[in-house]
């Protein structure tokens, strides 16, 4: 069982200690504690879904890039899948176009799809690649088209209340198949792949796909050691708002059944659960508003989020 530090972060990030203020002996202790985890996960693949405040706060962006580069330098294989909802919304607003949602899913007509592509595969992806390069890493941006990575089809969205009714949400995609060859080739060549969640169909049409779904499916196909989902919440909370740090797939099923997990967390946890049931050893849902939360979760005993174990 992991140790829970007993905090629930607020919307403003708690400050982490400034490393220069830590005594040399304590620094050595921190590094020594990380060593077993570095050894255990050496050569293993980590798929990281990057979203929320961690993507829009410049300090957190730099922290995230440093964390990814450090994982690579100590011998792990990080793969980044990013979202970009707020950035897409800003771009649509600049064009005088209002975003429309059905059951939490963005309606993506042809014009919106163009905006999604240039925001995700252009602005957002290149920002992430740039931050990783600045932190000393080597990153390559990909979309689902590159190397035939993500084949998709139009998502059929049935009405929540009336299953006989179907909503047309435009060019929103459902994953048909992931071919991870291009990602594996980049990892073998010591690059950090940065994947935009855009798929392509049989007629070469583009599809906007939920980034949590892409990250979860990619983790399955790559047989990743871990799937890490950065969010704007501390993790999975019980009905009293207490952080649940350590859950099995079976316990997650029970939380679905009694309504503890609902709303916006449903697609995130559903994908995470499928990954855990399909061979990914552990899934971590962590608060991206906490500086270096990814390192704290992967390289220490302390629980800084929710870990879902495959068994």
Q: Kindly report, residue by residue over 167-204, the tens digit of the pLDDT.
A: 889 999 999 999 999 999 999 999 999 999 999 999 99
Which among 139, 210, 142 has a CA at the least distance from the CA of 179? 142
**Is 9's pLDDT higher than 60?**
no
**Angle, in degrees to the nearest 10, between helices 110-117 and 85-94:** 120
Q: What is the mean pLDDT of residues 267-275?
A: 80
Q: In Å, how far are 50, 190, 204, 217, 286 from 231, measured between CA atoms?
A: 8, 27, 32, 18, 6
**Cβ–Cβ under 8 Å, residues 157 and 90:** no
> What is the tens place of the pLDDT at every residue in 75-129?
999 999 999 988 999 999 999 988 788 877 788 999 999 999 999 999 999 999 9
Rg (Cα) of the chain, in Å, rounded?
A: 19
What confidence tier does 6 reach under pLDDT thresholds 50, 70, 90? very low
Q: According to the annotation, is 85 in a ligand binding site?
A: yes
Q: What is the mean pLDDT of residues 194-223?
A: 95
What is the pTM assigned to this prediction? 0.87
Q: According to the annotation, is 263 in a ligand binding site?
A: no
Domains delineated in the chain: 41-309 (3.40.1160.10)
Q: According to the annotation, is 208 in a ligand binding site?
A: yes
Question: Residue 20 contacts by C-beta under 8 Å, 6 or more apart in sequence?
Answer: none
Q: Which residues pair with 150 in a beta bridge?
A: 178
Q: According to the annotation, is 106 in a ligand binding site?
A: yes
């Amino acid at each position: 069982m992991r140790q829970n530090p007993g905090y629930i972060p607020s919307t403003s990030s708690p400050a982490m200690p400034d490393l220069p203020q830590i005594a040399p002996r304590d620094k050595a202790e921190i590094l020594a504690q990380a060593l077993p985890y570095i050894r255990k996960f050496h050569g293993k693949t980590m798929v990281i879904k990057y979203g929320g405040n961690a993507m829009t706060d410049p300090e957190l962006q730099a922290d995230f890039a440093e964390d990814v580069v450090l994982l690579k330098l100590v011998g792990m294989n990080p793969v980044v899948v990013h979202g970009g909802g707020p950035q897409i919304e800003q771009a649509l607003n600049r064009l005088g176009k209002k975003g429309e949602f059905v059951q939490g899913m963005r309606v993506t007509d042809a014009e919106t799809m163009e905006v999604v592509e240039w925001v995700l595969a252009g602005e957002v992806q290149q920002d992430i690649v740039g931050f990783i390069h600045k932190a000393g890493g080597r990153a390559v941006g990909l979309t689902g088209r590159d190397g035939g990575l993500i084949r998709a089809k139009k998502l059929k969205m049935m009405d929540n209340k009336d299953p006989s009714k179907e909503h047309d949400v435009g060019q929103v995609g459902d994953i048909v198949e992931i071919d991870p060859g291009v990602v594996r080739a980049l990892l073998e060549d010591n690059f950090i792949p940065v994947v935009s969640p855009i798929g392509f169909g049989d007629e070469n049409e583009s599809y906007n796909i939920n980034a949590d779904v892409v990250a979860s499916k990619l983790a399955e196909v790559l047989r990743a050691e871990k799937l890490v989902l950065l969010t704007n919440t501390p993790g999975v909370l019980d009905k009293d708002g207490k952080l649940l740090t350590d859950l099995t797939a079976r316990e997650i099923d029970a939380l679905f059944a009694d309504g503890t997990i609902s709303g916006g967390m449903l697609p995130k946890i559903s994908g995470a659960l499928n990954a855990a049931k399909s061979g990914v050893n552990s899934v971590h849902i962590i608060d991206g508003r906490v500086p270096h939360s990814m390192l704290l979760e992967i390289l220490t005993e302390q629980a800084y989020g929710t870990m879902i174990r495959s068994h």
